[in-house]
Amino acid sequence: MTGIKDKKSARKRKVIFACVLSLLFVLTAPLIPYVIDAHAEDDITSKADKPAALQHPAINLWNEVRQRNEVTQGTSQVKGVDSGVLINKTGEDWRRFRMEMLMPYGAYFMGAIIAAIVLFFLLRGKLRLPGGRSGELLCRFTLNQRTAHWFAVGIFWLLGITGLILLYGRFVLIPLLGADGFSITASACKEMHNLIGPLFVFAVLALLVLYIKDNFFNRGDITWLTKGGGMFGGHVSAGRFNAGEKTWFWLVMIFGFLLCITGLILDFSIFGQGREIMALSHMIHGISALLLIAVSFGHIYLGTIGVEGTLEGMTTGYVDANWAKSHHDLWYEEISKTSEKPESSEQDINKGITSSSTKPAPNPAGD
């Protein structure tokens, strides 16, 4: 009995083994030609100098198409810049820069700034006015200056948000809106960004004209910078604008104008600029934009919740005297000497052109 059982199980094993072998053969058989081809290609590449080796018949064509050896210009019935170039190699460089550098490092940079702000707020909290409010108000910004500032703010954030959606939207919005939804959003953002973009030129020019006067660096700014602007304790003297504000102003001017120039190059591609110039412009545009957006977080924090009494300077035009003494003591001394008697607040505001002046208390209009 046991002999018959052993024979049966041995036969069974043989059948199973045969089946497995057959299955393996069926699965691997189609791969054999590829293995042979791969060996043949290895032979060709290793023996490339030998004339007997077989080359892909279109290898030269594809080398030219991919511009591997040199930049070649073909001919085309289509008339236009770069229309004779089938595949532009710089396009791939630009794509890799955008995907592998601009997007991740831009996000890290913005994240780091936000983290630093949160950390600072947790450590120091809101910087209160020393001695509370005095009730004496000083005219800090004229109506024209404030109008230019808020105009620039509106344009900057409209462009900033649409630009960030175009850059990071595929990661953030596709999971929320789906591919079709993001496609519509991206199209809308692109049109908005392109159409409203040129207004930023006027915004930056207006800021330059109205704010440049008091934004030149002087020796006192070095002291201010070395002491960290008094943010970590101690008092540091400053004029109408401190070194931090001046740095922000010049960042906006330099990178703002870079944004404007590169933005106009990208927006109006009708002046014969090729792909290389467009790619370079895009790189500069992206870096400048992310830098300004990231630093603006700090500007917004200090101007709103970070330092008590700062925001009202840009909304009403007036700041408390104690705020001025605490953060801009040299400016306070300067205007205390020049304006001994208070001027009419309404006159100041309506003219929108007067320089710093003082007034005793807020007017009924709520400013």
Partner 1 sequence: MFEQFVDGIFWDIALIVFFVGIAWRLITVLLLRNKRIDYSEPRNSGFSGAIMANVRGFYPRKEVSSRIRLQVIAGYMFHLGLFVLLFFAAPHVKFIAQHITGFSYITIPYWGFIVASQFAFAGLILLWVHRVLNPVTRLISKRSDHIATILVFVVMLTGCMALGEASSELRVLHRFSVELLMIYFPFSALMHAFMFIPSRAFTGAFLGRRGVKV
Check binding of 334 to partner 1 (CB under 8 A): no
Q: How far is the CB of 345 from partner 1 (least distance, A)?
A: 8
Alpha-helical (H) ranges within 125-198 are: 143-172, 174-196
Nearest partner of 134 among 364, 361, 366, judged by Cα: 361
Q: How far is the CB of 49 from partner 1 (least distance, A)?
A: 53
Check binding of 202 to partner 1 (CB under 8 A): yes
Check binding of 199 to partner 1 (CB under 8 A): yes
Cβ-based neighbour number of residue 162 at 10 Å:
22
Residues 214, 240 contacting (CB under 8 angstroms): yes
Structure-block tokens of residue 218 = 């002087």
- Based on CB atoms, which residue is closest to partner 1, 4 or 361? 361
- Based on CB atoms, which residue is closest to partner 1, 267 or 276? 267
Q: How far is the CB of 267 from partner 1 (least distance, A)?
A: 9
Cα–Cα dist 307/310, whole Å: 6
Check binding of 298 to partner 1 (CB under 8 A): no
Q: How far is the CB of 35 from partner 1 (least distance, A)?
A: 48
- Over its C-alpha atoms, the chain yields an Rg (Å, rounded) of 34
Binding to partner 1 by CB under 8 A, coded x per residue (else -) over 177-196, reads ------xx--xxxxxx--xx
Site for partner 1 in 144-173 (CB under 8 A): 144, 146-147, 150-151, 154-155
Check binding of 143 to partner 1 (CB under 8 A): yes
- Based on CB atoms, which residue is closest to partner 1, 167 or 186? 186
**Where does this chain touch partner 1 (CB under 8 A) — which range of 9-17, 224-232, 321-329, 359-367?**
359-367
Cα–Cα dist 55/45, whole Å: 9
Q: How far is the CB of 300 from partner 1 (least distance, A)?
A: 17
Q: How far is the CB of 29 from partner 1 (least distance, A)?
A: 50
b/e code 307-322 from CB counts within 10 Å (16+ = b): bbbbbbbbebbbbbbb
Residues 113, 295 contacting (CB under 8 angstroms): yes
- Based on CB atoms, which residue is closest to partner 1, 247 or 363? 363
- Based on CB atoms, which residue is closest to partner 1, 193 or 327? 193
- Based on CB atoms, which residue is closest to partner 1, 319 or 349? 349
DSSP string, 44-105: HHHTTTSTTS---TTHHHHHHHTTSSS------SS-STTTT-SS-HHHHHHHHHIIIIIHHH
Q: φ and ψ at 331, to 5 degrees?
A: -65, -40
**Where does this chain touch partner 1 (CB under 8 A) — which range of 99-107, 167-175, 328-336, 345-353?**
345-353
Cα–Cα dist 81/160, whole Å: 30
Q: At what angle do helices 143-172 and 174-196 cross, to 10 degrees?
A: 140
Check binding of 303 to partner 1 (CB under 8 A): no
- Based on CB atoms, which residue is closest to partner 1, 156 or 224? 156
Residues binding partner 1: number (CB under 8 A): 32
Q: How far is the CB of 127 from partner 1 (least distance, A)?
A: 25
Q: Which helix (H) or strand (E) holds 206?
A: helix 199-211
Nearest partner of 95 among 355, 275, 317, 306, judged by Cα: 275
Q: How far is the CB of 316 from partner 1 (least distance, A)?
A: 8
DSSP string, 99-143: IIIIHHHHHHHHHHHHHHHHHHHHHH--BPPTT---S-EEE-S-H
Q: φ and ψ at 359, to 5 degrees?
A: -145, 150
Site for partner 1 in 104-133 (CB under 8 A): none
Check binding of 269 to partner 1 (CB under 8 A): no
Residues that bind partner 1 (CB under 8 A): 143-144, 146-147, 150-151, 154-155, 183-184, 187-192, 195-196, 198-199, 202, 315, 317, 346, 349-352, 363, 365-367
